[in-house]
A and B are shown apart, each in its own frame.
Chain A
Amino acid sequence: MAVYLGNAGSIELTRKSILEEKLSLVNPDDVNVARRRFSFDFDEGAFLTGDFIQITSTNDALLSFIGADGWTDGNVHSSGNWYIFVDEIGGIRLYNNFNDSLEGSKAAAVTLVDITSDIPIAVSVKDSAGRILGSVIEYELNTNREAIDVTSLSDAHRQQYSSLITGSGQLTAQWDYKNVADEETVNYLMQLVLRTEIGGIFGAKFYLKSEGASPAGGTFKPTQLNDSLWWEFDALITNSATNFAPGEIIVSTVSFVTTGAIRLRARTIVSNKLLQEDGGSIVLEQGGLLAIVDEE
Chain B
Amino acid sequence: MAKFYTGRDGSLLLDGVTQAKVTSWSFSSDLETLETTTLGESHRSYTPGVQGASGSATLLYYKADDGSNDAGALLKKLIHTDPEGVTETDTVVFTLRYASGDVNNDIKFTAYVTAASFGSNVGEVASAQINFQVTGALTEASL
Interface residues of A (CB under 8 A from B): 146, 148, 150-156, 161, 163-164
Contacts and interface: CB of A to CB of B under 8 A. Distances in A.
24 contacts: A146-B123, A148-B125, A150-B125, A151-B7, A151-B23, A152-B20, A152-B21, A152-B60, A153-B7, A153-B10, A153-B12, A153-B23, A153-B24, A153-B25, A154-B7, A154-B9, A154-B10, A154-B18, A155-B8, A156-B8, A161-B125, A163-B124, A163-B125, A164-B122
B128 interface: no
B57 to A, nearest CB: 9
Contacts of B129: none
A156 B125 CA distance: 20
Interface residues of B, number: 19
A152 B123 CA distance: 18
Closest 8 pairs (CB-CB, A-B): A153-B10, A152-B21, A153-B22, A148-B125, A154-B11, A164-B123, A153-B11, A153-B7
A154 B25 CA distance: 12
Nearest to B21: A152
Contacts of B8: 153-156
Contacts of A146: 123
Contacts of A156: 8
B82 to A, nearest CB: 30
A168 to B, nearest CB: 16
Contacts of A154: 7-11, 18, 99
Interface in B1-59: 7-12, 18, 20-25
Contacts of B7: 151, 153-154
A163 B24 CA distance: 21
A156 B11 CA distance: 12
B11 to A, nearest CB: 5
A164 B121 CA distance: 12
A67 to B, nearest CB: 50
B12 to A, nearest CB: 7
Contacts of A163: 123-125
A152, A153, A156 pick with most chain B CB within 10 angstroms = A153
Given A153-B8, A164-B122, 18 more contacts: A146-B123, A148-B124, A150-B23, A150-B60, A150-B125, A151-B23, A152-B20, A152-B22, A152-B60, A153-B10, A153-B12, A153-B25, A154-B8, A155-B8, A156-B8, A163-B123, A163-B125, A164-B123
